[in-house]
Amino acid sequence: MQNQNVRTIVSHAHSEIKNLFWFLFVVSRGANSRIRIMSSLRNIPRNRYQLSIELDLDYKAIQHHLKILEKNNLVIKTGNRYGLTYCISTLFDNNEIVFDEIVDKLKNKVIQFC
């Protein structure tokens, strides 16, 4: 199998978007958790507690990953302090195809090595 890198993404998105998605969802620590969070938020906006229960991740880990995703404009938060809900941003929504392609490549890589 050829080495997977950002150049293997064929989606017609801007190269900076491809690089950002590749970094956040493939090469950095916590990439798998961020993929799970974004996949969950695509369906229904949720708060930190709901995400931690659904994904069986520590609340502080969810908080950390959401902070990173928000800093990179992939999620937005709505509501006040206790009713804070996270949902996907327009930037992510417009570039979902890149995310889907990355997830597919990662799944194929795991399947081929099993």
Range of the domain at 101: 13-113
Give the model confidence (pLDDT) of 4-26 as tens digits.
Answer: 655 666 667 778 888 899 999 99
Is 86:47 a contact under the CB 8 Å cutoff? yes
Rounded to the nearest 10 degrees, what angle do helices 96-113 and 15-22 cross at?
40
The pLDDT tens digits for 35-60 are 999 999 999 999 999 999 999 999 99
Average pLDDT, the chain: 87
CATH code assigned at 57: 1.10.10.10
Considering the domain boundaries, does residue 66 fall inside one? yes
Whole-prediction pTM: 0.85
pLDDT at 3 over 60: no
pLDDT for 85? 96
Is residue 71 a part of any domain in this protein?
yes
Tokens standing for residue 39? 């996949």
Residue 5 lies in a domain: no
